[in-house]
A and B are shown apart, each in its own frame.
Chain A
């Protein structure tokens, strides 16, 4: 029976490559079309940079850039993903012939690109207006660190969204994790913290991202372009995050709560009404 209803001439499915490319472009445009994402991720760090004074050090610039990058890859990505899931956007995509990995890859890649852009704008502003010295190798090194860091943050946020039930819960949950993490990692400025806390921060994805970017900005001939330890930490976060994201990804809102609500309103309870 299964073959009976297949069409006489099997139709060829479109090639994946162009579909993935179109999905990435589409998701980038969605991110950039959202004024809040652009304002927070790109404009805010630049404002910080301008407000910070006339001669920001390489690590000051790296901090500001990382702030914009992580706001985009973590907060904007996480909130938008939960909102899309709750609105049924993900469910709709899942029912199309676009392979599911393709949609997810498109979304994460677009997030990484826009997050890197957010970091790069800060670096560019510093180079143009604040005499930040930028060689070609330093630029490539910073971009490499940013791509890896953005992947780590985007993957971790995507993995976390599986545990966020509603869009109302998304901002508090993401923010409550984000701010303590970036504060102990020195993104908002150096703090006097106990040794154990800075050790902890060195295993989280923010501090190695700043260290890696600063290292690349200071790069001169004869020193390695990228610090191995920071790169390993970021790569571990990216790899683990993507693995958890893929395994735990939810395409639909939490069904249990939805269904129960529908049923109780749909079925009048005879005893209560008859009295």
Chain B
């Protein structure tokens, strides 16, 4: 069954196409991550699915209905977290959730949802006094309080510390495990990797990739060897390695399919000079590299050039 259908959807602002002929479907229960650089049309796409924006052309169906005309029953089945926090600052977390819960036919109990987003300890705090990460979790709590069939998350973890991100992920995974369809936009490749069943990439309003984290990773190319050098160690590096020093001359970064050969050189050098290889990393093909290749960015984006 299909929770979401987009057919040839275009959204123009003046003569600028923010979303340009995008089509995809999301089956029930899938967790879809929408990736793309700033201005790629992720939020505009989400807002058309949420009913805030009308496509200039094309068709959008969410739970079988046109989101623009989704009535109460439809809105009761759709949860969302907007890109920025959007709650009255005066009431406490508990009061806010107690206000939203009765709007839905089968809401979570306020205590349950506080537990889910790990805000039990802050239940009596005013919303306006919360940290950025905490208020994002209140947004999430309101998004999920009605046990939605579809949850839209617009950059739910942007600006959160790693621990808060993990908590948010856990809450989203929890809901997804109950069969909720989730569409999330994000800038974080690891977030998509961790959560998503499927990834689509938008660039300049167009859908450029529709894939899974696994398949995307396979496009990432060679493995990466990384070794931070001790001070002065760069002096007698074998040329096969010196060639791969980063611009600051402090770290060897090698992307190669010949992991064995390069490691042999590296270990031989360390052995000869008595160098401690603590800090050596050998990574699989990186999802980030694959993503950057997909959106057409250089994979070592220290200096952006537009020639």
Contact = CB atoms under 8 A, between A and B. Distances in A.
B64 A6 contact: yes
A87 B86 contact: yes
Given A6-B64, A14-B105, A22-B102, A97 B87 contact: no
Nearest to A11: B105
Given A97-B76, A274-B307, A84 B88 contact: yes
A12 B105 CA distance: 6
B38 A266 contact: yes
Nearest to A2: B64
A89 B86 contact: yes
A5 B28 contact: yes
Interface of A: 1-7, 10-14, 18-19, 22-23, 26, 29-30, 33-34, 84, 87-89, 91-92, 95-99, 252, 256, 259, 262-263, 265-268, 270, 273-274
Contact of A30 (B3, B28, B90): B90
Contacts of A89: 86-88
5 contacts: A1-B2, A33-B91, A87-B86, A259-B18, A266-B37
A183 B110 CA distance: 50
Contact of B1 (A4, A98, A263): A4
Contacts of B149: 5, 7
B24 interface: no
Contacts of A259: 13, 18
Given A13-B105, A91-B86, A267-B39, 7 more contacts: A1-B2, A5-B64, A11-B73, A22-B99, A30-B88, A33-B91, A95-B75
A96 B39 contact: no
Interface in B18-66: 18, 28, 37-39, 50-52, 61, 63-65
B100 to A, nearest CB: 7
A249 to B, nearest CB: 15
Interface in B99-146: 99-100, 102-106, 142, 146
